[in-house]
A and B are shown apart, each in its own frame.
Chain A
Amino acid sequence: MTWQALYDWLDARLQIGKLIEFARHKQVPVTRHFYWYYLGGITLFLFAIQVASGILLLLYYKPTAETAFESVQFIVTKVPFGWLVRSTHSWAANLMIFTAFLHLFSVFFLKAYRPPRELTWVSGMLLLFLAMGFGFSGYLLPWNELAYFATKVGSDIAGAVPLVGGFLKTFLRGGEDVTGATLTRFFGIHVAVLPMIFTTLLLGHLLLIQRQGMSPPFIPAGRPSAPPREMPFLPNFFLREAVLWAGTLAVLLYLSIFFPWELGVKVDPFAPAPAGIRPEWFFTFMSQSLKYIPGKVLGMDGEVLGILAFNAGAAFLVLVPFLDRWAARGRRHPFFTWAGIGIIVFMLTMITLAYVKPY
């Protein structure tokens, strides 16, 4: 039985020939910004790693306050390669959010969100929020001290949102305080709710890209432009991506061996909060900047003001395709360029401060 015979059999039933044709027509412009195009694929690959390692962890993880920590300890010490699966899952999570942010900013500055790709951008932003939700919910699952207190602080901040804050906090925590009920809730959100929503949005995001093709490079109106060289996505670009994906595997292996993810200390709710509580790094730009806002600003609660500012920033980013009307006309409006630079500088500064000088 040859590959050809197998192909013919499948094609007769599933018309995969048409699917392959559909896949083949995608072209990738080869410009000096070419390398940024890898970021989306790497993020996707890391997500796949998360799903696979997450399913493996599910075989042994026990989501109750009495058993969660011990079950992770069991995985890491007693299950063969458990250390590898767990460290991979923790590292890949952080790498994925990092590459997602890089992907966001590269698309932002390349202005690939121009019509007709507004929905791709919006779905991408929502995917980022979901990814951060994955990070927040997953962080608590080992039920160790740092995670417990970080969740406490994080859900406290959620509670500061005007109007719906109280409900939001109770909904997240499954009660008044962070308890075993919170753990169960976060577990359900992490392994069922978020994966379902994320996968749906992801498919939409990928389908849009496949149908609309890669965004042509942004050439400011008035500049002479020759049509760029193009490379077929399949197999040329994809093979290159595969190189990076293989490299990512090597990086994850190296990190799991040389920088294994810590287990920490089991939660003791009666112990005082340890010094240096901090959420995961991708939340620190928010937690750190909130520390600098004075208690009361113009009569309003400082923290609430900060949260509203972040919401406004997020809304701005989500709506950027609709706000940046100049991009469609080939104009690089300085406001958006500076807004993007400003956001990056702000985030990097806050994250650095959170680690170097938190107080």
Chain B
Amino acid sequence: MEGHGSQGSGAPGRRGFIEVLLGGGLLGLLGAMLYSVGRFVIPPKVADAGLSSVVAGKVKDFGSNSGKIFRFGNRPGILVRTPSGDFRAFSAVCTHLNCTVQYRSDLEKIWCACHNGTFDLYGKNVSGPPPRPLDAFDTAVRGDDIIVSRKA
């Protein structure tokens, strides 16, 4: 006979066991869900990714005629402070064979150590094997922060 409420056969012990099993299982499931959702909603400490802009550095860390590699999304970028003092940023991926470029203050140019490719301070490839200029980014200074963002 089916129907709601009929006690049916089984000792109270059996009913208790079922209750424990069901209750325990549901509690465990609920606990697992609450734990995972709880940890999910708390934001991770790492600065979040997927940026269209990033703080590449602080103004006070840069004298004129200096450069630094920073991370932009999944690729390296290079932030340069020209001898005349303004900030410029480019992709640091050399357009020849994808080595990471660096700033050469002695040459006042961006240089690639792999095959001696050179880019000027506008990112244009001026000597060596690189076939194309470096991709340029926009820079803005906000207070002491230098913000680099992709070109609009």
Contact = CB atoms under 8 A, between A and B. Distances in A.
Complex: A in contact with B (CB within 8 Å):
yes
B143 interface: no
A82 B49 contact: no
A71 B74 CA distance: 12
B39 interface: yes
Interface stretch (B40-48, B83-91, B92-100, B125-133): B40-48
Given A81-B36, A84-B36, A236-B2, A74 B50 contact: yes
B4 A236 contact: yes
18 contacts: A56-B40, A56-B41, A59-B41, A64-B52, A66-B51, A67-B51, A68-B50, A70-B51, A70-B74, A71-B49, A80-B40, A80-B42, A81-B37, A81-B39, A231-B2, A232-B3, A235-B4, A236-B4
A251 interface: no
Contact of B50 (A69, A231, A232): A69
B68 interface: no
A66 B44 contact: no
Interface in B106-132: none
B49 A74 contact: yes
Contacts of B51: 66-67, 70
B72 to A, nearest CB: 11
Interface string B30-73: 00000011011111101011111000000000000000000001
Given A70-B51, A78-B48, 6 more contacts: A66-B51, A74-B48, A79-B44, A80-B36, A236-B2, A249-B29
Interface string B1-45: 011100000000000000000000000010000001101111110
A85 interface: yes
Q: Classify chain B's interface size.
A: 20 to 34
Contacts of B44: 78-80
A234 interface: yes
A15 B41 CA distance: 36
Nearest to B40: A81
A210 interface: no
Nearest to A232: B4
B48 to A, nearest CB: 6
Nearest to A59: B41
A73 interface: yes
Contacts of B29: 246, 249
A71 B48 CA distance: 8
A62 B39 contact: no
Interface string A200-236: 0000000000000000000000000000000110111
Interface of B: 2-4, 29, 36-37, 39-44, 46, 48-52, 73-74, 150
A234 B3 CA distance: 9
B2 to A, nearest CB: 6
Given A232-B4, A234-B4, A236-B2, A70 B40 contact: no
B37 A56 contact: yes
What 10 pairs across the A-B complex have the smallest Cβ distances?
A70-B50, A66-B52, A80-B39, A67-B50, A71-B50, A81-B36, A74-B49, A70-B49, A81-B40, A78-B44
Nearest to B73: A70
Contacts of A80: 36, 39-40, 42, 44
A84 B29 CA distance: 15
A180 to B, nearest CB: 11
Contacts of A24: 4
A236 B6 CA distance: 12
A79 B46 CA distance: 9
Contacts of A78: 44, 46, 48-49
Contacts of A71: 48-50
Contacts of B150: 66
B50 to A, nearest CB: 3
Contacts of A73: 49-50
A83 to B, nearest CB: 10
B34 to A, nearest CB: 11
B52 A79 contact: no
Contacts of A82: 40
A235 B3 CA distance: 8
A101 to B, nearest CB: 28
